[in-house]
Amino acid sequence: MKCSPGFVTVVLLMLGQTHGDSVTQTEGQVTLSEEASLTINCTFSTSWSPTLFWYVQYPGEGLELLLKALRDKEKGSNKGFEATYNKDSKSFHLEKGSVQASDAAVYYCAMYDTVMGTVGGAEHKL
């Protein structure tokens, strides 16, 4: 993925749903100036309490777990990224206060329904 110097490109894509449960993520491609703040929205729809994940895939590499949350109000933090599980708003938005060129990657929001054992996800590319 090529980025102009001083800019970070984010691509947001959407995957499907499983057994009526779904994960919805911001779609499209976003280009940000370096040091700009980033929020990637991720909402979920399920009647159960899922485990939520953010995965990252850097160019030419495999998927890597970035963040995980098991319960309401749990906050994950890694590599300057943060996400807080909010059961009321059914959200797990990924945030970073200052993006760098090294953050250019594909970001995936996913959930695992620990009761039903279903998996769903959405993709976001930075």
**Residue whose token pair is 């159960």:** 48
- Per residue in 49-83, pLDDT (tens digit) is 889 999 998 999 998 999 999 999 999 999 999 99
Please indicate, yes or no, if residue 71 is contained in any of the structural domains: yes
**Residues of the domain holding 79:** 8-125
Express the helix, strand and coil content of the chain in percent, nearest 5 each: 0, 55, 40
The pTM assigned to this predicted structure is: 0.78
Please indicate, yes or no, if residue 2 is contained in any of the structural domains: no
Task: Give pLDDT tens digits along the chain (126 positions).
Answer: 444 556 565 555 444 445 567 888 877 677 888 999 999 999 999 888 889 999 998 999 998 999 999 999 999 999 999 999 999 999 999 999 999 999 998 888 998 864 444 555 555 555
Q: What is the pLDDT of residue 95?
A: 96
Please indicate, yes or no, if residue 35 is contained in any of the structural domains: yes
Q: Tell me how many domains the chain contains.
A: 1
Q: What is the CATH number of the domain that holds 15?
A: 2.60.40.10
Q: Which of 54, 48, 66 is nearest to 26 (CA)?
A: 54
φ/ψ region of 117 (left if φ > 0, alpha if ψ in -120 to 50, else beta) reads left
Please indicate, yes or no, if residue 1 is contained in any of the structural domains: no
